[in-house]
Amino acid sequence: MLARIATFAIDGVDPRQVSVEVHIRAGLPAFAIVGLADTAVRESRDRIHSAILNSKFDFPSRRITANLAPAFLRKVGPGFDAALALAVLAASGQIPRDALAAYAVFGELSLGGELRDSPGALVVAEGARRAGLTRLIVPRERAREAALVEGLEVAGVSTLRAAAEVVRGGRAPELPEAPPQEARQPAAEPDLADVRGHALPMLALQIAAAGGHNLLLEGPPGTGKTMLARRLPSILPRMTRAEAIEVTRIHSVAGLHADGLIGRRPFRAPHHTISPSGLVGGGALPRPGEATLAHRGVLFLDELSEFQRSTLDALRQPLEDGSVAIVRGQRALVFPTKFMLIAATNPCPCGFAGIEDRCNCGEADIRRHRRKLSGPLLDRMDLLVDVGRPSERELTSGPITSSELARGRVADARERQRARLDGTGASCNGEMDARTVRRLVELDVPAEQALAHAYSVGALSARGRHRVLRVARTIADLEGHGRVSHHDLLTALGLRQQPDLASAA
Amino acid sequence: MSGACDDCLRRTWLLGRMAGHLDHARARIAAVLELDDRELIAALGGELGDDLLRERDSVDVGLQRDRCGQAGLELVCRCDPAYPVRLRDLAAPPRALHVAGGLDRFLALVAEEPVAIVGARAASPYGIGVARSLGAALGRADVTVLSGMAHGIDAAAHVGALDAEAPTIAVLPGPADRPYPASRRALHRRLVATGATVSELPPGTMVRRWMFPARNRIIAALTAMTVVVEAGERSGSLVTAGFAQRLGRVIGAVPGQVTRPQAAGSNALLAGGATVVRGPQDVLDALFGAGVRSAAGDDRPELTEELALLLAGLADGHGTSTALVQAGYEPDEGLAALASLELAGYVRRDGGGRYAVIP
């Protein structure tokens, strides 16, 4: 007898429908799986055998052939166990065959017949809905995640037996309760209200958040660059539901997240020894890299000058395009990479340049250090701010602002940008190209004069001019100015980043 | 008036040809360079002596001139009346100078009262800052700054003069058409565009160690005064100062921290009676007599009280944020204030986002 059931393979961060067919016929007892299955899938024969027996079902002592279609798609991992087991049960008449047609099943089996937690349920659920299926069986741990997809009946089960019950028409178990709030958010998100001093970096963070500008923090070790960077997600606008689902899907596939919807923007801080494929994704079976895990959130590169040049160069395409294409064999996978980049670096190899007497670096060392920093990546950084050591008085004074207040200002500024940038392809000032800048950034007369002055005294390069205009526009948006004022422009000049001038003479 | 006589060209050819031989005698390089061609070949040529002599006599001077022309170099030899008169003070002036950036401009500049600003390559930020502002102030006072384009003090002095849009001259150890160090390409380009680079060696010569003291004697001789900004005990700039002293030129030094080894040499010069250089005015007084010329007045706009307070905070060496807070600024007001200070020419924003005060 033949039974058929749908399941999904996870290809990058996208679902691919796989049809599991099981045929049982007379012959010597055997169990063969065909259809470009990898080792973990072929091993599932033994798991399924034990799981079926331990669930008090019969394992048919006949010739069983399982096919995973389409045959050209490489199937990886143990996520097909449950679908194969249910198809075997249906083909041997232990559960009704017709009922299976409406179902997609996803999950790994243990020898004892339990459905184990398997990453990527959200992607599977999206695939099931797209394929027009109405019911989905997933491991219980993943039920709330899968239920984020609307229009799908999700049954979260913990055993193969329970899954069989559901298919037989038994009532699907209730979705597990959402865990209490505190358990889900173990530590409060870092807040700007915890910061003392650092008036300029805090302002720079707000401008960066408001305009989607990439930011470079420079300063000696121990002054709080990392501490400041960690607070950037807290002032970004809250994620929309669609964004949250994108983020949850990626983190679910990567096995970093198990329950429900991710509410916070991700913050990823890879160590500087990371490889190019670790950063942008890759591997023989392409997995999302840090840039993709930071999608809709913040990617923080600490000790920027310590990263390998090739690693940083690999970030160019993701930064430009908001996505990265990984080509393996005949397939190209696209991972989304819309993140804000924030980087930190020491001013010189020892880190203490500019601080009385503590720096032992020669001028040549410092030049070498700067040269390592320059390059295409720095070209994408609109803002640069010096993070110094706060004075005693600043450390003992009160907070300057809180994340809540800052987020409000940021959200207002973003709203103003959205109206202006409608139809340009840019969603925030940081994404404006040179043409859009020329067309949409209007300066009042004193600002125009100050810009011309800055350019004529050599404080700005042609490219730096565009960067300053983008930032000035964001500052004006934060202030609610229709045109960029003199003050807005000067503030932008005070935060400008100028890789081309830094390396000259 | 440009050009060089055949005999002088043969000599520069020989220096290039014997560059390797000369390196063995670098300890006594000044004396060795005083030898005439035949003596030089006899002293250092070894077994090759006769061949070298033959080569020298048959060298194609036309080809030498063409090569200089192709490299964009103009020549002046000491047989020419236009040859810089100060160089004639040397016991053995370079037979010919190769000049990139315009011979006439170079000769006009060195005919006045140029000043050498030299110092350590591994200089402190303080030294770099002083050299840069000294270069700029002297440039504004129409005093030409000469140096060696090395990293550290030398380059900072050139950059300062260029900041003030004043011409400045580098005497290079190797050929004048090639930046040395090579990473100073951009600076070399700017020097050639508005000032000059000079060398006694023909194009194509590889840089060797003896060329540095040899170059230092030219710097000392070409200038009316040598100012050492920061020099360790064994620094090459002390060699320059030594030449200057023997030539009877004025020597000045900028006081450095007594605890800093990079300043030991320059402080020793002061202890030995060198002119104390605290700023451009000290240099101008030493050159032209006390009070005869004063450093060009500040053409920067007056500062408001708040901006002056902020500037003082930055000069105290505080971080940018802290200086703003102490001057009572809100952050965004403060950034705008810093940018106005920068546009007015009082501070400079460096590659790391910090603000350095321009004296």
Question: Residue B260: what pLDDT?
Answer: 84
Are both A144 and A200 inside the same structural domain?
A: no
Q: How confident is the model at residue A187 (pLDDT cuts 50, 70, 90)?
A: low
Are both A268 and A399 inside the same structural domain?
A: yes
Neighbours of A258 (CB within 10 A): 15
Range of the domain at A358: 192-409
Most A CBs within 10 A among B335, B347, B357, hence the mutation to make, goes to: B335
- Whether A322 maps to a domain, the answer reads yes
Contact A459 B190 (CB under 8 A): no
Most B CBs within 10 A among A192, A218, A378, A386, hence the mutation to make, goes to: A386
Q: Does A495 touch chain B (CB under 8 A)?
A: yes
Q: How many CA atoms lie within 13 A of A173 on its CB side?
A: 19
- Whether A183 maps to a domain, the answer reads no
Are both A122 and A264 inside the same structural domain?
A: no
- Whether A415 maps to a domain, the answer reads no
Task: Round to the nearest angstrom and report the end-to-end CA distance of chain A.
Answer: 80
Region B53-70: mean pLDDT is 91
Region B138-144: mean pLDDT is 93
Are both A329 and A453 inside the same structural domain?
A: no
Domains of chain B: 6-288 (3.40.50.450), 305-357 (1.10.10)
Which DSSP helix (H) or strand (E) runs through A344?
strand A340-345
Crossing angle of helices A81-91/A160-167, nearest 10°? 50
Question: Residue A182: what pLDDT?
Answer: 47
Q: Longest C-alpha distance within chain B, in Å?
A: 79
pLDDT over 60 at A185, yes or no:
no
Q: Which residues of A84-113 are buried (b: 16+ CB within 10 A; e: fewer)?
A: bbbbbbbbbebbebeebeebbbbbbbeeeb
Are both A152 and A232 inside the same structural domain?
A: no
Contact A199 B321 (CB under 8 A): yes
Q: How high is the ipTM of this complex?
A: 0.75
Query: What CATH code is carried by the domain that includes residue A205?
Result: 3.40.50.300
Q: What percent of chain B has pLDDT over 90?
A: 62
- Whether A423 maps to a domain, the answer reads no
Mean residue pLDDT across chain B: 90
Answer with the one of A409, A444, A468 that is the final residue of a domain.
A409
- Whether A489 maps to a domain, the answer reads yes
Mean residue pLDDT across chain A: 86
Contact A359 B125 (CB under 8 A): yes
- Whether A417 maps to a domain, the answer reads no
pLDDT over 60 at A180, yes or no:
no
Answer with the one of A167, A202, A233 that is the final residue of a domain.
A167
Q: How confident is the model at residue A386 (pLDDT cuts 50, 70, 90)?
A: confident
Q: What percent of chain A has pLDDT over 90?
A: 40
Three-class SS of residue A343?
strand
Question: Residue B297: what pLDDT?
Answer: 64
Region A176-188: mean pLDDT is 58
pLDDT over 70 at A12, yes or no:
yes
Cα distance from A496 to chain B (closest Cα, Å)? Answer: 8
Q: How confident is the model at residue B248 (pLDDT cuts 50, 70, 90)?
A: very high
Residue among A394, A489, A491 whose CB faces B325 most closely: A394
The pLDDT tens digits of the residues spanning B202-211 come to: 999 999 999 9
Are both A403 and A439 inside the same structural domain?
A: no
Hey, which residues 360-389 in chain A have their CB within 8 Å of chain B? 362-364, 367, 370, 384-389
Question: Residue B317: what pLDDT?
Answer: 66
pLDDT over 90 at B146, yes or no:
yes
Cα distance from A217 to chain B (closest Cα, Å)? Answer: 9
The pLDDT tens digits of the residues spanning A336-384 come to: 999 999 999 988 887 776 665 667 776 677 777 877 776 778 888 889 9
Question: Residue A292: what pLDDT?
Answer: 93
- Identity of residue A258: A
Instruction: Decide the pairing of beta strands A115-116 and A108-109.
Output: antiparallel
Residue count of chain A, please give it: 505
Contact A200 B121 (CB under 8 A): no
Q: Does B232 touch chain A (CB under 8 A)?
A: no
Q: How confident is the model at residue B298 (pLDDT cuts 50, 70, 90)?
A: low
The pLDDT tens digits of the residues spanning A24-72 come to: 999 999 999 888 777 777 788 899 999 999 999 999 999 999 999 888 8
- Residues 6 or more apart in contact with residue A453 via CB below 8 angstroms: B343
Q: Considering Cα of A327, then A328, then A330, then A334, what sign does the dihedral take?
A: negative
Angle at B115 between CA B110 and CA B118, to 5 degrees: 125
Region A282-303: mean pLDDT is 89
Neighbours of A405 (CB within 10 A): 15
Cβ neighbourhood burial of A264 (10 Å; 0-12, 13-18, 19+): middle
- Whether A301 maps to a domain, the answer reads yes
Are both A152 and A116 inside the same structural domain?
A: yes
Q: How confident is the model at residue A505 (pLDDT cuts 50, 70, 90)?
A: very low
Q: Which residue has the higher pLDDT, A7 or A503?
A: A7
pTM of the model: 0.77
Are both A24 and A86 inside the same structural domain?
A: yes
The pLDDT tens digits of the residues spanning B191-247 come to: 999 999 999 999 999 999 999 999 999 999 999 999 999 999 988 999 999 999 999
Question: Residue A501: what pLDDT?
Answer: 47
Number of domains in chain A: 3
Are both A163 and A217 inside the same structural domain?
A: no
Are both A356 and A223 inside the same structural domain?
A: yes
The pLDDT tens digits of the residues spanning A419-456 come to: 888 888 888 898 888 889 988 999 999 999 999 988 88
The pLDDT tens digits of the residues spanning A101-149 come to: 889 999 999 999 999 888 888 999 999 999 888 899 999 888 888 888 8
Q: How confident is the model at residue B11 (pLDDT cuts 50, 70, 90)?
A: very high
Question: Residue A258: what pLDDT?
Answer: 63
Are both A396 and A476 inside the same structural domain?
A: no
- Whether A16 maps to a domain, the answer reads yes
Counting one residue from A and one from B, how many pairs have CB atoms under 8 Å apart?
137
Question: Measured between alpha carbons, how far is B68 from B34 in angstroms, rounded to an integer?
Answer: 24
Q: How confident is the model at residue B190 (pLDDT cuts 50, 70, 90)?
A: very high
Are both A448 and A300 inside the same structural domain?
A: no
Question: Measured between alpha carbons, how far is A191 from A376 in angstroms, rounded to an integer?
Answer: 32
Answer with the one of A119, A151, A167 that is the final residue of a domain.
A167
What are the C-alpha distances in Å from B306 to residues A90, A493, B312, B331, B340?
84, 19, 10, 14, 12
Cα distance from B321 to chain A (closest Cα, Å)? Answer: 6
Q: Which residue has the higher pLDDT, B88 or A422?
A: B88
